[in-house]
Structure 1
């Protein structure tokens, strides 16, 4: 935990969130296009996937450092409707640190979803709830709490799925994975994604017959022998 330095055991109650009107602009986007606009960066590790197909979320990040239950509960208490809980649990697969009880409580608070850089349990219960949950896997074994309680923090910068997440950053998840949009860039990125999405829909909507890719000339230029 050395990389977190003076952030350990810090609880920050205030978060500079991406404005709601900007968050709403992302509702019709998809992660691959956001990733393209971000230059293929800001994508969490491929192992962080939705617990069920079709799960998706979009909202400002509330961060919880470490797997400890009490620290995570503090983060949830501080979260606001529409927030996404980001738990930097170190990618541990041997223990779960999230379950359906927590998911249900988060739903009553209208939170948008959770990203767990580790495993969850009560998978069937979470699926029944339909609460958008992204994780590295599932196991019935959880931690004996407190778990590294002295090494936790709330609403500090964390690394989740190999991506730096600042509190308030926009976190977007769908079937393809999780993308993090830095808060300061969220409005600008939304403009670019919207333009590309509009062009993409117009192009694909014009296809009535098969549109050839017409790549033969390029392949010949690159040295391919087309016979």
Structure 2
């Protein structure tokens, strides 16, 4: 049975020109236009020298703590690819480090995204390569397998198919299915253009970079409308707020007209 230990070439890729356009759009803006559900979970950090990258996914599934299939994937992937590694989210053992990532950079790989840990972070930061991972550990990997190349993987809570468009920056990683990538990138570009326009008023003058404060802020700042005295009840015995003094004051105010009438009648 080869399930779990198999290799399939990645033959379908999004257009390189589309990847170049996607690389110029912040991940946050691309995530916004796909209803905020195509981003990998929080925690992916940028460790490589390239901090904003986009390219077609070259998928790898690795056993926790084992990088045999990643070695083969670096040899198979094409320049501009983003190698996406499902390493099970394990942070106990690094999947890759300086030597393997140095070879990936020489081969022109755009980036490597690891749902797991890496090591040699000082050296990774000097490479012309994007590296995203969830953590760092000095513990090195094994090279026994099993694993898979060129099949769908789960990475950062997202299903990634071979050839999908991956865009990553210092905010994190976005996955755009190949069939929807062109429309998503166009929408992301338009969204980014709107957000990049100069504001009519400064943030200080407007009170907020958006209209939310203008719509909701004054009402929130004013607080709830005060209740009438007869509706304000303290938690002590159901007495009006303010206790006995407020109760006596209200009673005296009610008795004043009656006392005045009695005084006039006695004088007459």
Question: 1:218 Cα deviation (Å)?
Answer: 3.0
The alpha-carbon distance between structure 1 residues 222 and 154, as it changes in their structure 2 partners (threshold 3 A), is same
* Aligned with 1:89 (options 87, 90, 101): 87
* Aligned with 1:56 (options 23, 42, 52): 52
**Which structure has the larger Rg?**
2
* Aligned with 1:100 (options 94, 98, 101): 98
Counterpart of 2:206 in 1: which secondary structure? coil
Question: Does 2:155 align with 1:157?
Answer: no
RMSD: 2.5
Asked if the contact 1:89–1:117 (Cα under 8 Å) also holds between the matched residues in 2, the reply is yes
1:23-79 CA-partner distances (Å, limit 9, x unpaired) = 111121001001101101111121211126872221111011014333112211221
1:178-209 CA-partner distances (Å, limit 9, x unpaired) = 111111111000111111112222244x5568
Question: Could you tell me which residue of structure 2 aligns to residue 172 of structure 1?
Answer: 167
Asked if the contact 2:112–2:132 (Cα under 8 Å) also holds between the matched residues in 1, the reply is yes
Q: State the TM-score, normalizing by the size of structure 2.
A: 0.74
Question: Could you tell me which residue of structure 2 aligns to residue 188 of structure 1?
Answer: 183
Asked if the contact 2:49–2:130 (Cα under 8 Å) also holds between the matched residues in 1, the reply is no
Structure 1 alignment gaps of length 5 or more: none
Structure 2 alignment gaps of length 5 or more: 226-268
Counterpart of 2:57 in 1: which secondary structure? strand
Q: State the TM-score, normalizing by the size of structure 1.
A: 0.87
Question: Could you tell me which residue of structure 2 aligns to residue 122 of structure 1?
Answer: 120
Aligned counterparts of 2:193 and 2:98: Cα–Cα separation in 1: 38
* Aligned with 1:75 (options 73, 76, 83): 73
* Aligned with 1:144 (options 136, 142, 145): 142
Count residues in correspondence.
219
Question: Could you tell me which residue of structure 2 aligns to residue 110 of structure 1?
Answer: 108
Asked if the contact 1:7–1:156 (Cα under 8 Å) also holds between the matched residues in 2, the reply is no
Asked which structure has the greater RCO (Cα within 8 Å, sep 6+), the reply is 1
